[in-house]
Structure 1
């Protein structure tokens, strides 16, 4: 059952500018696209690239880990590997956009009741539900075209993820752990990259998937602290509400286990020195997030959440350097 919004009058944060309250105003969307397309870009979160980046990194980790493992037996052509990276980039942007549009359609009433989300295109009335649905379908079709470029096993695996994606918006209504459901969906790329290379799965991508799930729960918990008070008022559940005022032990356990499973994935795939160096740097950055987190400061929570995009980049850079080193030496 969808929680009823509170009785506070709902007005867009800045209707005259067409912006949303929680997106950077200097984003390329507002410099390049005509204003008529801004609401659709906001539905897809093109003005907030951190989302598709966090969806993309597990795909790239997995594809690069697989390429490194294959180098010892049957090397994957480097051009094929790079083509897979491009496909994962396009797919991540498209499917993240489709997922966010779907989430906004489902959470329309909840978004009206939360101060940070009231200015989004649907609750502010700048896009109709029919237009948003059509836009969601178009983005999903782009994702489907991308998926069809891979092998049959990967296609089936990708289609299977849609069950979790469809369930996610409803999780916050029935469990304190919607971040776990998000992790299951957002981490699917950790399986896809390996499957695209080998046409099957193994220990390494499974460990990578578990690591990514735990990482996602951690960073999305930090993000959820921005809305904890509003969520409590309207009955939306989250790990931020579940952990309360003492998130550090939980985050330490989540991030610590994520690092452990990443290490197991690296061992299983025979990752090289640069991958391990990147893992060390990433572990330090995750620990730093826990130490400096101020759950009473929404701006701090948002900044630390966004920092995870850099964590993902560092891990990819390490894996890529290890792959290149292995191919050259």
Structure 2
């Protein structure tokens, strides 16, 4: 009996290590965009099975993406003080264990997609390739942030494809909004690694243009986010609650940008993690209320 409890404790500890390594809490960035897209395409509550399969696919690919990023960036992470305590770097998680985790997440993603539309099944390898491409992109181009943007832009479009077998103007606009939002916050977060990126020959907007210009570019990306989300609301025929959500999105982005400056990056973690998590959740809530109220 004691042996079983000890084994359970060891397994649970290992699972927690994996969840910390892939920052499971950051699922709150992309998952609300998937859910709000599902509510919009269904014009209300989706079928339970559709919700389950899309949630499964999102969790699978998101954790696969974070895990593969850790594997690909292993050597880089060992030389970066900010990332040198990651479990894969310290050996708390071994590479073969991470490989099993990646296979498990890929299977979860594929199983979720398998229960969705024909085109979702057909395009699932593209989704996997996109998340693999992101960590490699910073080795070849300072536009790597836009690769992450493409990953996020695929979320609303992927949900529409999964449920209707096609994309639409509103899914494209929502995708552009999500894409430029993620590209913008990735630029902001990358300012923390500017010296490491330059010393290791990695490409990023901060490393290429400096922190001041990088923050301006992030503001431009986030301005495009608000533009595309506003146009999406017009195309969708959304009500006032949706636009209150967009306004809240704008205000929180403004606060996020006020938290960081070329001379002071001390609050970058709060700006990145707290503000963007709050943005995603509140926008999701506004879309829900608007859809149900108008419906």
TM-score (normalised: structure 2):
0.88
1:303 matched to 2:270? The reply is yes
Please state which structure has a larger fraction of its residues in helix.
Answer: 2
The answer to whether the Cα contact below 8 Å between 2:194 and 2:207 also exists between their aligned partners in 1 is yes
Structure 1 residue 83, shift from structure 2 partner: 4.3
- In structure 1, runs of 5+ residues without a counterpart are 1-30, 69-75
Post-superposition CA distance 1:243-285 (Å, at most 9, x none): 4131343122111111111111122222222111111111111
Structure 1 residue 94, shift from structure 2 partner: 2.3
Any idea what SS the aligned residue of 1:116 has? coil
1:103 matched to 2:69? The reply is yes
Distance 1:175 1:272, change over 3 A: same
Post-superposition CA distance 1:63-90 (Å, at most 9, x none): 122223xxxxxxx7x351x543443333
Within 5 Å, give how 1:217-296 maps onto structure 2. Answer: 217-246=183-212, 247-296=214-263
Structure 1 residue 299, shift from structure 2 partner: 4.2
- In structure 2, runs of 5+ residues without a counterpart are 1-8
TM-score (normalised: structure 1):
0.80
1:156 matched to 2:122? The reply is yes
Any idea what SS the aligned residue of 1:123 has? helix
Aligned residues: 285
1:321 matched to 2:289? The reply is yes
Any idea what SS the aligned residue of 1:174 has? coil
Any idea what SS the aligned residue of 1:56 has? helix
Post-superposition CA distance 1:218-263 (Å, at most 9, x none): 1111111222222222222212223413134312211111111111
Structure 1 residue aligned with 2:19: 41
Distance 1:296 1:37, change over 3 A: farther
Any idea what SS the aligned residue of 1:115 has? coil
Distance 1:33 1:280, change over 3 A: farther
Structure 1 residue 136, shift from structure 2 partner: 0.6
Measure the CA separation in 1 of the matches of 2:173 and 2:209: 25
Distance 1:231 1:276, change over 3 A: same
Aligned pair partner of 1:53 in 19, 28, 38? 28
Post-superposition CA distance 1:178-212 (Å, at most 9, x none): 11111111331110222233221111111111111
The answer to whether the Cα contact below 8 Å between 1:222 and 1:302 also exists between their aligned partners in 2 is no
Structure with higher RCO (Cα < 8 A, 6+ apart) = 1
Distance 1:53 1:308, change over 3 A: same
Within 5 Å, give how 1:100-139 maps onto structure 2. Answer: 100-139=66-105
Measure the CA separation in 2 of the matches of 1:131 and 1:153: 32
Structure 1 residue aligned with 2:150: 184
1:147 matched to 2:113? The reply is yes
